[in-house]
Structure 1
Amino acid sequence: MDRRTVLRATVIGAGTAAFSGSLWSAAFAAPAQPGPSPYGGLRAADANGVQLPAGFTSRIVARSRQAVAGYTWHDAPDGGACFVTGAGWVYVSNSEISATGGASALRFNADGSIASAYRILANTNRNCAGGATPWGTWLSCEEADLGYVYETYPLGGTAAVRRPAMGRFTHEAAAADPDRRVIYLTEDETNGCFYRFRPTTWGNLSAGTLEVLVAGSATSGPVSWAPVPDPDGSPTRTRSQVSGAKRFNGGEGCYYADGVCWFTTKGDNRVWAYDAVNQRIDLAYDDSLVTGTAPLTGVDNITGSGSGDLFVAEDGGNMEINIITPAGVVAPFIRLSGQSGSEITGPAFSPDGTRLYFSSQRGTSGSSSGGITYEVRGPFRS
């Protein structure tokens, strides 16, 4: 297997690194390996059943079917993101429920207290993950055959809009690349593809071109993009329309920063890095290439921090969020106890980077009605 990494010291323009900023600025020779966390080991579980490094604390901000700020929080909380609003912020969360899914929002005051909670999308199908846009909307994606992307408004007061131009397929996550003015999309199928949507006008998702990544069978190397002839996906599914489209085993989370789109595949426990500057892909993590016991399995949702650290949630595994550092070290950062029948979803940082939100989709009950949404505070690296 080709173990070459995307994290090369390529230089473009007037001395600007291809992977600018702090994110993965140091190259390493192979996919991430287990090592000591920069935050230290995990302590015993706290009163909320959360194991954290020293200096970090947790609180529960919402539970499925229970009132939060007078609003009944949704079942099966999944993908999420944070948005600035006035002096506070909003955390949005999808509901992965068939036919009656959608998304809800928690609005926080500047001191972190909860100001309100409300619905921003209703009666859609298995809203799994999604992604934030630079113009402040949340793309809620349906993980269903011929599913849609819905553009929603985290601050409320505006009706969600279906965006069929972004393709109909088993959507999972989305990540906006403002530098190339495209939105990357993952597909949760065992033979799924990796897509990008190129809006006709940046900031307007009503029209544009859906493209699919084309490459050989190797895990690393150059790639190209080809238009999908029929984004509607019927009668021929989008993943079957372009010869040479690269297959990915169960596309999940998707996160863009500093010229790289990171995306995960749960079928083979991999974290991929798409170098958007040089148009190539490589592996950032693969549990089959780990020396010893792999700390990260059930690879699922992904986000990043200002320090360049990636935070990858597990669907199953040890019910952890693992950190992958720019130095190529992978280690547990959060572990939930007594929730083996659940999955961790929706990791997202508050705008100031001091709070991490996430959910346990089925909580301790193992049922979609038992979802729990958490906040973790502490000295995150910046």
Structure 2
Amino acid sequence: MSHKTLLRTGPLWRGGTSPYGPLGLPDADGLALPSGFTGRVVARSGHKVAGLTWHAAPDGGACFPDGAGWIYVSNSELPLLGGASALRFRPDGTIGDAYRILSGTDLNCAGGATPWHTWLSCELGDRGRVFECDPYGARAARPRLSMGRFRHEAAACDTERHVIYMTEDEPDGCFYRFRPGDWGDLTEGTLEVLCAAGRWEAVPSPAALFTAARHQVDDARHFDGGDGCHYAGGVCYFTTKGDTALWAYDTQSATLDRLCEGVRAITAAPSGDLYVARETTEIDVITPDRAVTPFLRLEGHAGAELTGLAFSPGGERLYLSARRGRTEGRTFEVAGPFRA
């Protein structure tokens, strides 16, 4: 998927005209969407979908091409039983299969897709690992220990610089990048941490037992609970849950800007529009001209967190989950005239 996002420095502004118009009345599932868009629930925690019992606590997700169809992968943020599952969609949008791609791991929160069509599932535990998973279900998942042992949240691949950016969910967490020895092979490489003035320094011992990675480089920058992460158009966007901030790291100028507050999850559409999940059960669209307008509101799910935002490979469908606690969760699909 090629992104045209050019959202870098400067203030955002809320208001103006949405590219899709105002929200309509909520449907039977509580989704309020612009005219021309429809939504449906594709999976519910604890319920069967294509023979698989869908996992609790759905979190980070991504889509992958599958012939004329596609696959949506979703993490499970459960302790000890986390892992990840996949939904395989036929070209007409019906679900053809559902299966596990990772099992027996701990608190799989977010992650990220690679350009070679694997899913990086990140563990949130104190010594969490990154597992590289096959969304097609043909190969076993493998831990990538060179990417560090810490409270991993999300990952985003920069195909121009051949690095993977990662966030860390600690009150003094860091923003990292992993530079593999060979792009496409994550077995070995160098873990680096963002420091002052946009510099990157290598973490001496990414899997150390006694000195956490975030404390190994004196000049490292620290953030209040790294959360979502997405790379598009030369910018790595990430959020921090402690202060609900949306940040933009411009890879060309090596500058970091704080764009706004009140954001938890983020993805991008082929148009260059960013879609951000708020602390509430709402999703806003941020256009390249920096206008922020409502796109979706989920009613009747008070206290839920919206997670796992991801577009299908063609950009015609948006997937997301609404999770409440460690048990209840619904995974939605929104289809409609998204901008190309």
Q: Shared fold by TM > 0.5?
A: yes
With the length of structure 2 as denominator, give the TM-score of the two structures: 0.96
1:308 counterpart (272, 276, 291): 272
Letter paired with 1:251: G
1:285-313 Cα deviation digits (max 9, x unpaired): 223xxxxxxxxx2x212100011111111
- For residue 307 of structure 2, the aligned residue among 342, 345, 349 is 345
Q: Which of 164, 168, 176 is 1:187 aligned to?
A: 168
Shift of 1:233: 3.6
Residue 286 of structure 1 pairs with residue 247 of structure 2: no
Q: Deviations over 1:97-140 (max 9, x none)?
A: 00110000000001101000000000111100000001000000
Cα distance per residue 1:263-285 (max 9 Å; x no partner): 111222221111111211112x2
Q: Which runs of 4+ in 1 moved over 6 A?
A: none
Whole-angstrom CA distance in 2 between matches of 1:34 and 1:334: 15
Contact 1:28–1:327 under 8 Å retained in 2 = no
1:196: how far off? Answer: 0.1
Aligned partner of residue 238 in structure 2, secondary structure:
strand
In the alignment, what sits opposite 1:291? Answer: none
Question: Which runs of 5 or more residues in structure 1 are unaligned?
Answer: 1-19, 216-221, 288-296
Counterparts of 2:265 and 2:136 in 1: how far apart (Å)?
A: 23
TM-score (norm 1): 0.86
Deviation at 1:174, TM superposition (A): 0.2
Aligned equivalents of 2:230, 2:3: Cα separation in 1: 16
Supply the RMSD in Å over aligned alpha carbons. Answer: 1.5
1:277 aligns with 2:252: yes
Shift of residue 21, structure 1, vs aligned partner: 6.6
Contact 1:94 1:140 (C-alpha < 8 Å) held by counterparts: yes
Please state if 1:80 is matched with 2:38: no
Cα shift at 1:189: 1.1
The 8 Å contact of residues 146 and 233 in structure 1, kept in 2 or not, is answered as no
DSSP-derived class of the 1:371 partner: strand
Could you list the per-position Cα deviations for residues 78-106 of structure 1 after superposition, in whole angstroms to 9, with x for gaps in the alignment? 00000001111000000000011000000
Contact 2:236–2:248 (Cα < 8 Å) also in 1: yes
Give 3-state SS (helix, strand or coil) of 2:200's partner: strand
8 A contact 2:198–2:255 mirrored in 1: yes
Measured after TM superposition, the shift of residue 206 of structure 1 is: 0.6
Asked if 1:131 corresponds to 2:95, the answer is no
The SS at the match of 1:209 is strand
Tell me the distance in 2 between the aligned counterparts of 1:266 and 1:325: 23
SS in 1 for 2:327: helix
Q: Select between 268-277 and 105-114 the one with higher mean Cα deviation.
A: 268-277
Partner of 2:335: 377
Q: Deviations over 1:11-70 (max 9, x none)?
A: xxxxxxxxx973126x77424444432212211110111111111100110001101011
Whole-Å separation in 2 of the counterparts to 1:116 and 1:260: 35
For the 8 Å contact 1:99–1:124, the answer to whether it is kept is yes
- Find the residue that maps to 1:165 and give its secondary structure: helix
What are the within-5 Å matches in structure 2 for residues 186-265 of structure 1? 186-215=167-196, 222-265=197-240
In the other structure, the counterpart of 1:16 is none
